[in-house]
């Protein structure tokens, strides 16, 4: 599992995370500009509805997947993916990956509360 840390002091907030993925897997670090396109979006395995505006931000992601291991958006919302094994995996249906949820929340949130709402909404609608 990954290690994630956060430090909050008078000077601000720092977010740090590593990625415990295969050392030979390419991890991309990318800047994505604000986008204004509404409709269906192809995530790693599922097409989802998206709002008209998606916010800009830095993302780190495995090269083969749409979602993000970690990132921070233009509003300072920072999110990192953590593997938590709380239920059996249903391999018979397509659903969102945790990393897809990270990216969807970063692209649609201006605060931690908004990110929680975005993730909850997508989980209810598409599952994980």
Q: Which residues are catalytic?
A: 2
Query: If DSSP codes are grouped into helix, strand and coil, which group holds residue 63?
Result: coil
Contacts for 23 with CB less than 8 Å, ≥ 6 apart: none
4-22 burial, b for 16+ CB within 10 Å, e for fewer? Answer: eeeeeeeeeeebebebeee
Strands annotated E in 26-104: 27-32, 35-36, 39-42, 47-50, 53-54, 57-62, 70-73, 78-80
């Amino acid at each position: 599992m990954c290690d994630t840390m956060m430090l909050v002091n008078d000077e601000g907030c720092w977010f740090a995370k590593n990625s415990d993925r295969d050392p030979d897997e390419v991890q991309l670090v990318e800047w994505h500009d604000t986008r204004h396109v509404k409709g269906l979006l192809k995530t790693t395995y599922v097409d989802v509805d998206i709002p008209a505006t998606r916010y800009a931000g830095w993302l780190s992601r495995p090269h083969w997947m749409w979602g993000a291991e970690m990132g921070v958006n233009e509003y300072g919302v920072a999110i990192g993916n953590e593997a938590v094994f709380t239920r059996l995996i249903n391999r018979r249906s397509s659903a969102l990956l945790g990393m897809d949820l990270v990216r969807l929340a970063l692209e649609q949130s201006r605060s931690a509360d908004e990110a929680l709402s975005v993730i909850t909404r997508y989980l209810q609608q598409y599952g994980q």
